[in-house]
Amino acid sequence: MKDRTLGNIIQVNPERIEQHGKDIDSNITPELEKVGSETLGGDGVYNLEGGSFSVTCTAASVTYPGAIQFAFQDLRTHLEMLKHFGEGIATSAKNYMEAEKASTVTS
Amino acid sequence: MTALPMANSLMDTASTEAAIAGSILPPALMINFEFKLCKGDPETLDKAGQAWRKAADQIDQVNQKLQDSVSGVGAQDWTAEDRPAYEKKVQEFTSQLQVLSTYCMVVGIALTTLAYALLVYAVFAVGMGTFLGALAIEAAAALAVPVVGEADYAAALGIAATCLTITSVATGVLAAAGQLAGAAFAGGSLAAAAVEYSKGNNQAFSDWAKAQEVGAAGAAANLLQNAGNAGLDFLNRGGGKSGKGFPLTSVDADADRGWDKTWSVGGGATVDTKGGGSVDASGHVKVGDHGVQGADADVKVGTKGGGEVEGKGGWDEDADGNDTYSGGVSGKTAGGAHAGAEGEYGDDGHWKGKVDGGYEKGNSDTSGSVGVDHDKDGNTKYTGEAGNTYRGVTTGSTNQEVSTGEGGTQYKGSYTGAGGAYDSEKPPWES
């Protein structure tokens, strides 16, 4: 699609943009999700026993649950952001496609 | 291969040596108390540390893939003015994730560092325990000599008191390492939240606050567990299974929230029996969005000679609301025989069961099992296997498998041992 109305040439390939959105949804998002669900969410990681630190190192054992939950929360926030990226890209691609269709009909 | 798996046996040895020495030299009892307070699980800490460092690498890979994906949209494919705005958002996103990756790396390094600090302490403890053992022998010999020996005993007692001071310093060093790790976990997450906020993540501080709120239950459970065990360690400073201690030797408290936002809450206890055996009992309840979604219980009884009987049961509800019930019993005798049975039933129609048994004698180990597995689609698989090893080398083994279901009946079997070997998919009843 080319738009010369304002004197600037705007080039848009909606299919390629749409492909980028799908890449986010089907390749990138699952990989980030795996960090939470498998790597940090694995047994012995998210539920590390207080006793594993020893009684002497209680200072570490009481702060560890907050550390794992912070990582979980932060990952969830960024997964939500990725979801918005994917949705936004899909909407943009759709709008460009419709604009292209409209300009083809009128010309 | 690291020395980390050895740390626990080093600590047990040190503790036993100190407890024995403590019967002659009282300061050794306090040393044993400190040893017990400093026993952790370095191997588990290191494994968790590796997982955090792997998480850091995975986040970096996600960042790289996203950047590649954006730059993969060619310059000519998207020249509209919304592209720079989108690229700026992506840039903010990746820089925030970079902060999380760094934080994961810091936590991973802190966990492994602490694991090695525990190992170093264990090496120190076993050295101290051995020295105390030798000192106690000298002190006992001195006590056997009337009058003259008293001065020698007093000298040994003085040395034991110095050993206690040295041990307290070493314990203090380990405690400082624990505080450093704690600072990395808590202070590091707050710093990460602050940097992410500066890079456009408006959620960062509320995520941090939410994490502290949720993590508080786990923190309380760990504090409760460690405080309880500190008291029990003091009561058992004279030894545990030797019969001189308090019957309850350790407690466990859990309150962990997983990635799927499901809580696992429960606890357990280990009790030493008068005859030199022990009983471990634990139970947990899983609580999720739909209320209670599962429970498990496990009781293990060990005898002085090495025999053991264990029974466990559980119920679990999956994300689709299907319930699965499971249970099992197992046992082994001091003479080397072992047997077990376990089963599972799901209200989606699946069920399975397995019985196994075996016998270890000298260098020979013989075992076998039979099982049946029925899936929710109505397919059933029957399996059987048996084998023998001598000095770790397989002398004979067989595996048999029959499957029935939509695909008809299938067979797979293999055998190696006396008389030859076969590996066949032709059912024996057809030959």
Give how far the C-alpha of residue B237 lies from the chain's centroid of Cα atoms, to the nearest Å.
Answer: 24
A36 → chain B, closest CA residue: B259
Q: Please indicate if any CB of chain A lies within 8 Å of the CB of B61.
A: yes
Residue B51 confidence (pLDDT): 97
Please tell me the predicted confidence (pLDDT) of residue B272.
79
- pLDDT, residue A5, reads 44
Domains and CATH numbers, chain B: 1-202 (1.20.1270)
Summarize pLDDT for A83-107 with one digit per residue, the tens: 999 999 988 888 888 887 777 655 4
| ipTM, two decimals | 0.89
Please tell me the predicted confidence (pLDDT) of residue A105. Answer: 55
Compute CA distances B261 → A36, B16, B257, B320, whole Å.
Answer: 11, 42, 6, 15
- Residue B18, judged by CB atoms within 10 A of its CB (0-12, 13-18, 19+), counts as buried
How far the first Cα of chain A sits from its last, in Å, is 13
Using alpha carbons, select from B255, B302, B108 the residue that is nearest to residue B188: B108
Instruction: Say yes or no: B58 contacts chain A, CB-CB below 8 A.
Output: yes
pLDDT of amino acid B207? 86
CB contact (8 A) between residue A65 and residue B82: no
HSE (side-chain half, CA atoms, 13 Å) at B253: 15
Among A20-34, A57-71, B259-273, B371-385, the least confident range? B259-273
Out of B178, B207, B264, whose CB is closest to A56?
B178
Q: How far apart are CA B387 and CA B392, in angstroms?
A: 12
Query: Which residues in chain B touch residue A13, judged by CB atoms under 8 angstroms apart?
Result: 73-74, 76-78
pLDDT at B199: 84
Using the predicted structure, report yes or no on whether residue A3 has a pLDDT greater than 70: no
Q: Is there a contact between A74 and B204 if contact means CB atoms under 8 Å apart? A: yes
Question: Domain extents for chain A?
Answer: 62-107
Spatial distance between the Cα atoms of B183 and B426, rounded to a whole number of angstroms: 64
Question: Using CA atoms, how far apart are residues A93 and A18, in angstroms rounded to an integer?
Answer: 5
Q: How far is A83 from chain B (nearest CA, A)?
A: 12
Global confidence as pTM: 0.76
Please indicate whether, in this complex, the C-beta atoms of A48 and B52 are within 8 angstroms of each other: no
CA atoms in the 13 A half-sphere facing the CB of B88: 6
Q: Whats the size of chain A, residue-wise?
A: 107
Q: Mean pLDDT per segment of 10 residues, for chain B of length 431 residues?
A: 85 92 91 92 95 97 94 82 87 93 93 93 93 92 80 89 91 90 88 87 85 78 76 75 63 78 78 78 77 82 85 85 89 89 90 93 91 92 93 90 88 88 82 64
- Which of B252, B233, B280 is closest to B11 using CA atoms? B233
d(CA B17, CA B122): 13
Instruction: Of A75, A63, A83, give the one whose Cα is nearest residue B99.
Output: A75
State residue B1's pLDDT score. Answer: 58
The residue type at B342: E
Least CA distance to B181: which residue of chain A?
A: A60
Q: Do B73 and A17 touch (CB under 8 A)?
A: yes
Instruction: Quickly tell me which residue has 């958002």 as its tokens.
Output: B89
Separation between Cα atoms, residue A41 and residue B338, nearest integer Å: 34
Cα first-last separation, chain B: 50
Residue A74: pLDDT band by 50, 70, 90 thresholds? Answer: very high
- Specify the pLDDT at position B242: 45
Interchain contact A32–B (C-beta under 8 A): yes
Binning pLDDT at 50, 70 and 90, where does residue A4 land?
A: very low
Question: Would you tell me how many other CB atoms lie within 10 Å of the CB of residue B251?
Answer: 19
Q: What is the C-alpha to C-alpha distance for residues A38 and B55, in angstroms, rounded to an integer?
A: 9
State residue B245's pLDDT score: 64
pLDDT tens digits, one per residue of B184-224: 898 888 888 888 888 888 888 888 888 887 777 777 777 77
